[in-house]
Structure 1
Amino acid sequence: MKTVSIKTPYWDIAADVHLPPDFSESKTYPAIISAHPIGSCKEQTSGNVYGEALAKEGFVVVAFDASFQGASGGEPRYIEDPTLRVEDFRHVADYLVTLPYVDENSIGVLGICGGGGYAINAAMTERRIKAVGTVTGANYGRLMREGFSNYDPIAALEAMAKQRTAQARGAALRVDDLLPSSPEAAKAAGLTEIDLCGATEYYRTDRGRTPHGVNRALFSHQAAAVGWDAFHLCETLLTQPLMVVVGDKVGAFGAYRDGCEIIGRAASKKKELVVVEGWSHYDLYDKPEPVSQALVRLIPFFKANLVDHMASESPPSARI
């Protein structure tokens, strides 16, 4: 693995490049862009779990930090801006097509949780992406209009506007911590919802905790997400092969619902919903059994749509 800084017109995007075994710059490889969940970072599930696993199968995998988050640039911090989150994918694709060992016609994308919604949305207009996979993918815009705004998006927007005005006049930034400080704190508060507790157990313990995976949000800059929809125009623009992996233990963040919706709506002729039975949203982040069940479907999916394409178009000496 190597860490790189990807240049953009506004700031650098930090990314980890996971390389296949026995990697050689004289060979040509398929590539996958791996996108992290909301409030996460490249060192968590998108990189250290799925990125590493896919690299071992022969893919060059780029796990990147979203703008305003992790080690990437952008101020103020902790902004979750869907427009820029999608634009980040384009800049990572720009980087990949400059690498002599990457086949520009064999680039896929994998998104986890909110990264799944962004991956789907990016693929609609970024035609260099040839195959789309998601793991417990969620439509962040829907979440903002529903549970994340207490099902009152107008009141949330009014509060965001008021806070932004206050900050423009010199008030301190309001940065919300989106999770309890620990599983014990969640239990003490009487919280039992499976996704909220799963997120707390992942992000607030040594299981998944990292310095950059902090799950914080700048409240005044969340308005754009309220008006955004990851699946808008998917009936027309999402045509790439699509694989959606979800767990059947349904939680409030709605990945199962979103997975069923995008499979039903996408224009893709090749699309498949994979339901991992007995596991929940956050189980699919890093627990060996559900992750292996996800990968046993994702790996052949990406090979069929990226590697087989290379084999049909490239001379034998250029194949992985």
Structure 2
Amino acid sequence: MEPKIAIVEIDRQYKVYTEHYRNASADKTIILVNGSLATTASFAQTVRYLRPCFNVVLYDQPYAGQSKRHNRHGQPIRKEDEAEILLELIEHFSVDHVLSFSWGGAATLLALAQRPQRIEKAVISSFSARINTPMRDYLESGLALLQACDRNNVGCWINTTIGKHLPSLFKRFNHRHVSSLAEHEYRQMHFHVNEVLARDAECYLACANAIEVPLLFVNGEWDEYTSAQDARLFAEHARQSEFHTVKRAGHFLDMEHQAAWHDTQQALLGFLQPTHHRAADVTHKPLSSPISRRLQS
């Protein structure tokens, strides 16, 4: 079933491209929040096992994907702006659950700290509060490339760091996507890297302290950038927190191999639908050649 496509206007400032997969048998809606500069295409794998259980909402940030042609790009967008966009979309689509990937987790935590009444549970994947040494090295090494709009080397930068555990086909798609971005997208990513480097872990931990709904943190066993160990810093701050480590997986989790896809699927559905996920159709195999467009700054 094809999604319903709509452009949603946010505070008369942004126009956001959205995809709404409706499920007549579902009574809950989940919204998916991407990492930096990624598009709705990056959740192709995830949507396959969420659609039998939920109504699913995807969207592109104003500067990326199908949204960018509807917006002006004079100034970069802050994480606080992304959080406000998420809150507006939660209300617009009557969302019950949130699933974020990578640095989409930053905007998600900022939004959830405002305690939107509709939200019941949230999954934060491939995100940690602490900027550890590998992450800092990764971010700092990319600043000059982004500032120079060095398209080819930005693609290589992604694939040799956070994307190093991706299959070669996925790396080729990633490189193709990253090397074809508009100049304002590189400016946005450069701004975002500086924004991330300037933030202290206490910012995200303070958000966790304010969040009242149950949270599930999912991280890859081999992800040295947003490690499972660093994610557990949230344990003492989030009122209701659970943690899951996907075995033999790096930063991109369910895109890296079939076992990781299945492990991630089971963790998400087990958390969001603990009494129903066994009966759901969880036997789908991942797509054989999905387009990999997840990015994190």
Q: TM-score, normalised by structure 1?
A: 0.67
Are positions 1:69 and 2:64 aligned together? yes
Q: Secondary structure at the match of 2:64?
A: coil
Q: Secondary structure at the match of 1:254?
A: coil
Gaps of 5+ in 2: 278-297
Could you say which residue in structure 2 is the equivalent of 1:6?
A: 8
Could you say which residue in structure 2 is the equivalent of 1:84?
A: 81
Amino acid at match of 1:303: Q
| Between 86-95 and 284-293, the greater mean CA deviation after superposition | 284-293
Q: 1:16 to 1:300 in 2, by over 3 A?
A: same
What is the deviation of 1:294?
0.9
1:1-320 mapped onto 2 (5 Å cutoff): 1-9=3-11, 10-20=13-23, 23=24, 29-45=27-43, 48-57=44-53, 59-72=54-67, 73-76=70-73, 79=76, 81-97=78-94, 107-127=96-116, 128-139=118-129, 146-148=136-138, 150=140, 174=147, 176-177=149-150, 180=153, 194-198=161-165, 204-206=171-173, 214=181, 216-218=185-187, 221-222=191-192, 223-228=194-199, 231-251=204-224, 253-268=225-240, 271-285=241-255, 287-304=257-274
Q: Secondary structure at the match of 1:122?
A: helix
What is the deviation of 1:224?
4.1
What is the deviation of 1:13?
0.7
Question: Does the 8 Å CA contact 2:206/2:237 hold for their aligned counterparts?
Answer: no
Identity of aligned residues (%): 13
Question: Does the 8 Å CA contact 2:18/2:60 hold for their aligned counterparts?
Answer: yes
Distance (Å, rounded) in 1 between the aligned partners of 2:50 and 2:195: 33
CA RMSD in angstroms, aligned pairs only: 3.9
| Between 192-201 and 285-294, the greater mean CA deviation after superposition | 192-201
Question: Does the 8 Å CA contact 1:35/1:115 hold for their aligned counterparts?
Answer: yes
Q: 1:86 to 1:139 in 2, by over 3 A?
A: farther
What is the deviation of 1:16?
1.2
Could you say which residue in structure 2 is the equivalent of 1:101?
A: none
Q: How many residues align?
A: 263
Q: Secondary structure at the match of 1:195?
A: coil
Greater share of strand? 1
Amino acid at match of 1:44: S
Gaps of 5+ in 1: 98-103, 160-172, 308-320
Amino acid at match of 2:86: F
Question: Does the 8 Å CA contact 1:110/1:132 hold for their aligned counterparts?
Answer: yes
Q: Secondary structure at the match of 2:124?
A: strand
Higher-Rg member (1/2): 1
What is the deviation of 1:217?
2.6
What is the deviation of 1:295?
1.1
What is the deviation of 1:77?
7.5
| Between 209-218 and 6-15, the greater mean CA deviation after superposition | 209-218
What is the deviation of 1:256?
2.6
Amino acid at match of 1:249: W
Distance (Å, rounded) in 1 between the aligned partners of 2:180 and 2:127: 18
Amino acid at match of 1:14: Y
Amino acid at match of 1:88: I
What is the deviation of 1:63?
1.1
Q: Secondary structure at the match of 1:125?
A: coil
